Structures are given as structure tokens and as C-alpha cells.
Chains A and B, each alone.
Chain A
Amino acid sequence: MAVELTGITKRFGAFIANDGIDLAVRRGEIHAIIGENGAGKTTLMNVLFGLLQPDEGSIRLNGETIMVADPAAAIKAGLGMVHQHFKLVPSLSVADNVFLGMEIRRHGLIDHAAQIARTRELSKRFGLHVDPAERVGLLSVGIEQRIEILKVLVRGARTIILDEPTAVLTPQESRELFQTLRSFVAEGMTVIFISHHLEEVMEVSDTVTVLRNGRKVATRPTAELSKDELVRMMVGREVSFDRRPRAQLHGDAVLEVKNLWSRDDRRLPAVRGASFTVRAGEVVGIAGVAGNGQTELAEVLSGLRPASHGEAWLKGQDLTTLSPAAIREAGLAHVPGDRMVRGVDRNASIAANTLMGRQHRAPWSRGGMLDWKAIAGNAGALIKSFDIRAQGSGDPVKRLSGGNIQKVVLAREFTNGADFLLIDQPTRGVDIGAQEAIHDEIMRQRAAGRAILLISVQLDELAALADRILVMFNGRIMGEVAGDDADEDRIGMMMAGVSPELEPAR
């Protein structure tokens, strides 16, 4: 075994990021660690690499129990890690970056020629195609990653950890990366790579370990697994079909999305031709493994990201042509997925947080002047009606628990009179009690005739709340399932990219 982790537990305060995880990686294999965001993948690898110290558990490398006190110890033991965020000096050449901190010297001076030669040799051997003399500042992200890999190689790593290496790559670059990884194992090296993309895990790995909520679900040979099995392990087997009553009657179409396209931050298409309708008084769910275009879809609908093509009509106005403020005017309420950054100002009071989006509206504002008494009074009423556990409306939001922060967001968004509610991951990181309360509130909004688009990576949440579920994969809507018919097999297949028409059973 190249790496053996036994009973690794890592806590951050009350939060358990890794809970008694065992992991065994054979020498000479590509071992993928897969799981949703927050499943504990990166924490586990940081423990292995000495960036974090485990609270419990032990680490064995090549059969020997060792203490990995810091990354220097890990490197000495033959480990290397390529992080998500690169640490390169843009003004230096590729070779200088590769040898930074361990320069080859000749007569006390840096031997640039030798560094360049050695970098070129390594780059050729593993098919990395990097020009060692080029300045790093001029290179693309994909090449920067190769330089990070070279850094790890010259430090003598035999086991290489890559944290979400494909997150910043184009599909073409990803394929080249996989080639490189295969050439590593061909030379007897070991690769551990973290991902939440099923496709690439299926394509490149020999063994898969699935993590969920800080625990290990399973370690299996990739060849024995199908994509939908993998999805089920990632999102959870114990889908509780505690279904809420479905909507009795649906009203008119409130939101009509037609062939909508958009790009992600890498300028790659992330939403590819989505079309759907949300009617008044229904909840339409969007299922999918995280990172399949859901975030971008939500951002386009709220005006935070431009659409590259297509339309999204909200009550007679095309959202793709409007600013975020105008979209709010047109009737959008938005519970953002990234609650701490988008949803609140953590340092501001509850009252100030409930004001966002309505700071120009009466009765909170008259003639451009704010009426803080009315705002605080309203915030106090929201604290009561949404059962927000806080001392008062003057409390800064950062003092509240995750569930209560989310209730602040819901309280603000659900009371602004919008007809269309865009709700993204409403219960992520929220305790069970608050989850129930949030679900109840969403049901009340549906009963009040609002049109609701509910994006969630939790299947049980969608099955419980949604009248219809659309499944997103790779930016496309793979198919639709009625909420009552939602079963993990059918949804799981579509989440893994298998279109329902091709399913043999149908």
C-alpha cells in the first residue's frame, strides 16, 4: 500500500469534517476520491499532506506509520500535492518556478541552464509540453497546473495528490492531464485525485472512494461501478421520501425559459439550451450533481451572469436583458446558494440585512431617506414570524447559526411580494430543525400562489417538495420526473448523464 489512513477524524469546532475515515491506496493506481462539495475530500487530503493535523487516526506510508507534522515532512516522505489554487511567481520563468527554494547551484549562483534542461527533460518524459524558459505570467491556467505538477515531480514525489485538478481546465486540457496521470502510474507512481465529476472519475481512475458528509461510503474498483451507482453513493442512499402534499392546481406560467445558454467563469458553456416553465402555485425542482450548470442557471435568472443565448420571460419581461435591480422589480425573489457571500452582509445587523433590495421602497424609505424605526420594527416582526433565534434586530448576522442566517435570507426574500421565487440550496449546512421550518415556509409560499424554482443537490429535499423535478447534467436538462414518481434510480441515471429515452426499461 502506498498510503493507508486509519480512523482519521478532523473537527473544526462542533463541525466534523472527517469522521473516522479509512483509506487505502495501492501503489501504482489512480485512486479517485469523489464526493459533493463539503463531503470532506480536501480536508482528508490536507491531513495526509500535513497541512492539517488529525484529531484522531494514523497515517502509514509504504507500510510505515509516520507523523506528517507539516508539508515538508510529507514531501520528504515522497508525497506531492497540487492544490486548487496555484502558488507561482508570475515574473519568473517556468524553470525558476519549478526549482524555487531548491535551486540548482553552480559556483554559488543559480545554474539556469541546468534547471531548464532538467525541467525540459521531465516535461518531455511525462508529456507535459511546457517551455521551461517561458515566463509564467504569460501562460494559461492549464499550463500553470502543469508547472505545479513539475514542482511536485522535481521534489521527488512518488505519490501525487491533485485537488480538483480539472476544475480550472477545459475538456481538452483535462484529457491531456489524464494522459499525464496515466504516464505516472506507468512509471510506478501513485496518483490520488479529488473530484466531484463522475465522468472523469469513470474515465481515468482504477479505484474510487466515495465520501459523504465527512464519512467514507465505500471504496470500490472503478470497473465494477456504474455511473448511477456512483451518484447514489455520493448523494445518499437513504433518500427519505417524506413527501409533502402536491400542489392541487397550477396557475398561469410565471417563468418561461427558452433555449437558455450561458458560460461559466472559464468561458465554457455551462448552461446549454435549457427550456422549462414554472407556473404559479407549483414547485419545480432542479436536480443534479453539483457543478452541472445549476449555479450558472440561477445566476442568469437573477441577472448576475449574462446569458449567451436564449430567453427567460418573467411576466412579459425577458430577464436576460435586465439588470439585477430591474429583475427584482419585475418580481424575482432569490435565495442564493452561496448564502454567506451573496445572501447577507455578515457584519451588518439583521435589520440592515432585511433591508437589501427594498431600500428604495416605502415604507422603509421615503424621499430617499431611510426610516430605521420602521425597518427595525419590520425586522423584529420577521424575527418572530420566521422564528429566527436572535436577541434582536440589531444583532449582527455573523452571531447567528447557519440555519438562522438562512431564515434571515428567507424572511427578506419571501416578504418582498415577488411572484417568482428562485431558491438555491435552501437547507445546505442547516440543522434538521431549521430544515423542517424552511420546508414548511416554502410550502406556504406555494400555497400563496408563488411560482417556485427549487435548485438542490439533495434528492430527498426535491422529492419532498417539488411537484416536478428536472434533472440537469452537463448544462442540459436531461429529463423531467413528476415529484410523485421521483425514485433515485431514474433520477440517478439522468444525473449521471444517461438520457431517459435510452433507458432499456422504458
Chain B
Amino acid sequence: MSDRLRAVSGQVIAVGVALLLGAIIILLVGESPVRVLMTLLRGAFGDQEKIAGTLLQTTPILICGVAACIGLRGGMFNVGIEGQLFLGGFAAAWVGFTFSLPAGIHTLAALSLAVVAGAAWVAIPAYFRARYNTNEVVSTILSNYIAILLTSYFTIFLFKRPGGWSETPPILATAYLPEIFSFSRLNWGLAIGLLLAVGVALVFRYTSWGYGVTMVGSAPKFAEYGGVNVKRQGFIVLLLSGAVGGLAGGVETLGVHHRFMEGFAPGFGFDGLIAALLANGSPVATIVTALFFGALRSGSLLLEVDTSASREIITVIQALIILSVSAQVLVRRRGDSQAGERRWKF
């Protein structure tokens, strides 16, 4: 228990240090850190619409975060969630505007194809990892570019809405993920994300399969010795991670945009990965960290209106968080370099 406490306090200190450095940078650009913070808070939680807006931003980050957690648990670094999200988003949209099905079933079908698309996309790097021990970090990062440009190609050349922007035709209303409130585009995707986070945590904790995967991630040679097929589990874990990444895209398409647009969800995949790392790979803790990043995103919308700071300051703060979280994990794991290197092996 004290280990967990130490881990949590470490992450909190890391975020604190990052915010402090961010404050200094805000000072350097001649703005008051307090004012920026208040604006961020107001922008993120000022009234019920703003809160809903924050939760709307949180949803894809959370689902992507859960995707990353699945990989991390089995010792796999899926940095390709962004690409899986784009393909999943496109796949869901395609089902949405191509077929006409009863409400509910249509949504389910679209989400299913999104899941399949994400899994299929990560299957390529996952296969190379299992077969040739290729570093999955590199291959999944690179697969992002192909995925994103592929969806652009589909959108612009194959399925472009006549006369419109770089976007597909709108999906049928039968495929929508319903909105929760009348005043916001916040939809049931959030519930999917929350259920998924809790469900994944339970699977890892309470199933025999989850136990084996956890051991592959934390002590691969021990797992191998105990009869767990390390390569196969690594492959499966990446596949599942990609499937959830695809689902994130489907949820975003069916819940928010109701069509696929080129560059429709920039950076959610990476934010999710960071949220998962900040949560130390725990899906439940990712709910909190995803909310944090969601709040930063939606709060930053007010930033340029009310202060002289640019929204880009949020990106700077995120980068600082990544740096300080990496640093503290390295410090904490100094006595345990094997696990440390495995988890932070860029």
C-alpha cells in the first residue's frame, strides 16, 4: 500500500513541478499565472455547459488512455493509438453513411467496425513484434502517419461529400450516439469510456488471463518460466489496445461530429497515452488523469479570449508534464532498472 502511495505522491509532485515551470513561462511571456489558472478553471468548470464541454473533451482521451493502459499492462507501448483512432473514426462513419439500419443496431455495427479497424491496423506492428521482435514503439509511431493520411485519402478522393469540405457525407441519425443533455454535445460515449476503464481494471485483476498478461508486463522471464506464452500474449495485448483505440475514434465520430472530417480529432491518441502514463498504467486512475487533460483542453478555449497568453501554453505544460513524469519514474525505479528500462525504452 505504501508503494502505491509513493507512486501517487510521485506523480502529483511531477505534475506540480510541471505546473510551476509552466507558471514561470507564463510570467516570462508577461502574463499573470494566477489569472491564467483562474481562466483555465473558469473555462473548464465555470458553468454546467463548460463542465459538459470538459467531459466531452475527456471522453476520447479516456478511451485512448484505456487503450494505452491495456498495452502497458502487458509491457507493450502502443504509440499508434492516434492512427487507430483515425481509422476507427473513419470506419464508423462509413457504416454510418453507407448502410441504413435500425437505431441502436446501426450504432453498434458502426462501433464494431471501428473496433475491428483499430485492431486490424495494429495487427501489422504486433505481428512484426511477435515474429521478429521489432520494437513496437517505432513501428506503431510510424503507422500513425500512414493511418492518418490513408483516412485523408479516403475522405478527399473516395467518399467526399459533394460540394463540402474535406469530409464524408453525414451519417444517418440511426447511428448517432445519443446526447445526454440538451445543452451540450456530450454523449453516451463518456459512459462507454467509464465502463471500459472499470471493466478493463477488473479483467486484469480478477481473471487468470489478466494475471498472465500482468506478469508478462512486469516480469517477462518469470512469466515465460511459469508457462505464459509471452509472445502470444504480447500480440493479443497490442491487438486489444488497438481495438480500443479504434473504438475511441468510432465514439468520437458517432457522438460528436456525425461525419468523418480530415484531421477530426487531433492529438487525442497521444493525450490518452500521456494520461495513461501519468496514471501509471491504471485504467481507473486514467479516469482522473484524462479529466485533467480534458479540462486543460477545454479550459484553454477561453485562454486567448480573456488573457494575453496563447493556447499553445497548454501544449507547453503538457510537454513539461511528460518530462517531469518520465524523470520521476526513472528516479523511482533507479533500483529496479530492468522494469524501468522496459517501460521507458525510447
- A residues neighboring B (CB under 8 Å): 302, 304, 323-328, 334, 336, 338, 341-348, 352, 355-357, 359-360, 365, 368-370, 372, 396
Q: Please judge, given known A-B contacts A323-B227, A396-B3, whether A348 and B208 are in contact too, CB under 8 Å.
A: no
Chain A residue numbers with a CB within 8 Å of B215 are 345, 348, 356
Chain A residue numbers with a CB within 8 Å of B341 are none
Cβ A368 vs Cβ B209 within 8 A: yes
Cβ A343 vs Cβ B229 within 8 A: no
Chain B residue numbers with a CB within 8 Å of A365 are 208
| Residue B183 CB within 8 A of the other chain | no
Cβ A304 vs Cβ B219 within 8 A: no
Cβ contact of A346, chosen from B219, B223, B229, cutoff 8 A: B219
Cβ contact of A370, chosen from B3, B211, B225, B228, cutoff 8 A: B211
Cβ B225 vs Cβ A369 within 8 A: no
A372 to B218, CA, bound (A): 19
Cβ B3 vs Cβ A360 within 8 A: no
Q: Please judge, given known A-B contacts A346-B219, A370-B206, whether A359 and B211 are in contact too, CB under 8 Å.
A: yes
Counting from the closest, the 7 A-B pairs by CB-CB distance are: A325-B227, A345-B219, A356-B226, A359-B208, A365-B208, A357-B226, A342-B225
Cβ contact of B227, chosen from A328, A343, A345, A372, cutoff 8 A: A328
| Residue B145 CB within 8 A of the other chain | no
Q: Please judge, given known A-B contacts A325-B229, A352-B211, A368-B207, whether A347 and B218 are in contact too, CB under 8 Å.
A: yes
Chain A residue numbers with a CB within 8 Å of B336 are 346-347
Main secondary structure of the interface of B (DSSP, over half): helix
Q: Please judge, given known A-B contacts A325-B229, A347-B339, A355-B211, whether A341 and B206 are in contact too, CB under 8 Å.
A: no
Cβ B207 vs Cβ A370 within 8 A: yes
Cβ B222 vs Cβ A343 within 8 A: yes
| Residue B131 CB within 8 A of the other chain | no
Chain A residue numbers with a CB within 8 Å of B223 are 356
A304 to B222, CA, bound (A): 11
| Residue B221 CB within 8 A of the other chain | yes
Cβ contact of B221, chosen from A328, A342, A352, cutoff 8 A: A342
In the complex, the chain A residue whose C-beta lies closest to that of B219 is A345
Q: Please judge, given known A-B contacts A347-B339, A369-B208, whether A336 and B218 are in contact too, CB under 8 Å.
A: no
Cβ B211 vs Cβ A302 within 8 A: no
18 contacts between A and B (CB under 8 A): A324-B227, A325-B229, A327-B227, A334-B225, A341-B221, A341-B222, A342-B222, A343-B222, A343-B225, A344-B219, A347-B219, A348-B215, A348-B218, A355-B211, A356-B222, A370-B205, A370-B210, A372-B206
Shortest distance between the CB of A93 and any CB in chain B (Å):
26
Residue among B218, B225, B339 facing the most chain A CB atoms (10 A cut-off): B225
Chain A residue numbers with a CB within 8 Å of B3 are 347, 396
In the complex, the chain B residue whose C-beta lies closest to that of A329 is B227
Chain B residue numbers with a CB within 8 Å of A368 are 207-209
